[in-house]
Amino acid sequence: MCGITGTLNLTERHPIDPADMRRMLGAIRYRGPDQFGVYAFEDERSGVALGNARLSIIDLGGGQQPISNEDGTVWIVFNGEIFNYIELRPEIEKLGHRFQTDSDTEVIVHLYEEYGPDCVQHLNGQFVFAIWDERARSLFIARDRVGIRPLHYTIQQGALIFASEMKALFADRRVNPEIDPKVLDQIFTYWSPIKPNTIFKNVRTLPPGHWLLAQNGDVHIEPYWQPSFPPASELLPPKMSFDEAAAQLRELLVDATQIRLRADVPVGAYLSGGLDSSTITALIRHYTGNRLETFSIAFSDEAYDESAFQLQMAQHLGTDHHIVTATHEEIGEIFPEVIWHTETPIMRTSPAPLYLLSRLVQQHNFKVVLTGEGSDEFLAGYNIFKEAKIRRFWARQPQSEIRPLLLSKLYGYIGGLSEGNTAYLEKFFGKGLTDVSAADYSHAIRWRNNQRTRRIFSPDLQSQMSSANPIEAIPLPAGFANWHPQSRAQYLEITLFLGEYLLSSQGDRMAAANSVEGRVPFLDHRVIEFANTLPPHYKLRGLNEKYILKQAMRDLLPENIWNRPKRPYRAPIHRSFFPNGKPLDWVAEILQPDKVAEAGYFNVTAVAALTRKIERLGTLGETDDMTLAGLLSTMLVHQQFVSDFTPLPPIGGGDDIKEVVKCIEYGV
């Protein structure tokens, strides 16, 4: 985990001042507080500056950035880890390259010298890096395949400005943040922006699996990897038996876990009590000799708490286990700080407990943890996949009164959906029931329900909302229509939810806030590519989710862990902001009618009605809960970044800074 920043003159000439990088790095110093580095280059043709805030994990003494090739003509700043760097290094040395460090960063430099943009194909890792090639006068930036590490950029006054986080962009005086109403509409519909959009106008994200090349005033962006599935016709008969596939999945996960333990600092693991994190911790225990410390979130609210399963798993493995308990009020109190790090509105409070969890990790002097994200997306773990399967089964006999009752088994945690009320289930899940060929069949109900949250928008914002079918805004790959329905559902979940919400707001940002790096074995690209070739029924057997993973791991886990039904990770919403029916002080302050009106995003009367409903009833339904989270987080984004942005101080005097400045124009 690190943070990177940079600027490149494209069509206008701006002075290249290392002080600009110090300001940008200061804004994200928590991402890498150990060391800082700045590279600056300027001549009559080009001007570029790169910055790095380092969280030292590999080659603690020699890996300070920026790092160059042998003759100092290719320079890199890097955020992330290359897990196969040990295997790559001897291959590179055979090609004649000499290494100055033992870091994984330097491996990328020499790969780029040999292969140019195709260097990314050799990397197994989670990364964003920027490489300046002095001879070609080119800047090359690449992001890992699924977006574990973030990269944002903007073009202002003829300059490309980029950084790991948007607040670093805003530390550049040329960038003025402004919320994009159309993207706010997307977040309230899909829970995340549609790539490459961000909540701020003219600020983009480099999409997962893409690289950017800036040269001669032009910026070119190209994909090098995208999630893909075989046509449905190629999935049967299976190319390998179920038992063979389960064994291969385990073998891949073992190696993916082992290489993610490579570090010159201790590595811990998150333990949620579910199948995914239990799988990773069990693989560490049984296939490595590493000392294992685990970290978990408990909730004071029993409706969300899984600590009994966490403790059982910790005792089963004999780990040194640490727990932090999240209360309603604590989730609400830290929410403004959470939004400072997410930098975007969110429709859930789920990142807040993860912020507390990474703080617990930091307090125990760990910099690295392994986590279980990614399994649900690639091994069909979410209820939305079961829901689509049941609806397709129901659609064969649309008049059946029995088939829709299967849906009541999925959402026991959502009021009204587990009551066995056939009329209610038919009304909620029956719209578009027989349109089974629709590209968004799996997600249309969710998106339509989410759109109800937009009723709180101001009249001006309502006028800017899209009236199109939500699926029309989503680019779909060639061949999508020929995939199995479950594959299509997985693709939508991966591209919309995984990279820009789960791995960002809940993942990278909450860990980085406390100078912690999360590593994700399930998102090793070898695991992903293998999982995507499996027949759907290997992953979802009937309504038994992640079936192949359960069978692959059953001998290493207690039965009530591996055979336990999926329980989604959630956190309380309205009770966190309105404990005892009354708003927290900051909530009352930010929802004052004059502030809501001044911001302009929400209808003042609708906001007042929502708060009165909470105070009168003391509870909210699922849609109103999402509305409240979206409302408060949007107001916080406006307050923190638009109306009153104050970046952290620049790095300076007492910091460990490596600075390389080349100003050829002036003969320096």
520 token code pair: 């994700």
Determine contact, residues 224/117, Cβ cutoff 8 Å: yes
237: amino acid identity, one letter: P
570 token code pair: 């959630």
Q: Is 99 exposed, middle or buried (0-12, 13-18, 19+ CB in 10 A)?
A: middle
Determine contact, residues 284/319, Cβ cutoff 8 Å: no
Which residue, chain included where needed, has tokens 């993942």? 507
Distance CA 666, CA 33 (A): 33
Catalytic machinery residues:
2
3-state helix, strand, coil in the chain (%, to 5): 45, 15, 40
3-state secondary structure of 403: helix
Closest CA to 227 of 583, 483, 537: 483
Determine contact, residues 339/590, Cβ cutoff 8 Å: no
Determine contact, residues 125/103, Cβ cutoff 8 Å: no
Strand ranges for 343-408 from DSSP E: 368-370
Determine contact, residues 226/17, Cβ cutoff 8 Å: no
Q: Is 479 exposed, middle or buried (0-12, 13-18, 19+ CB in 10 A)?
A: exposed
The phi and psi torsions of 264 (rounded to 5 degrees) equal: -100, 20
213 Cβ contact partners less than 8 Å away, ≥ 6 residues apart: 117, 138, 139, 140, 141, 219, 220, 221, 222
Which residue, chain included where needed, has tokens 């578009």? 432
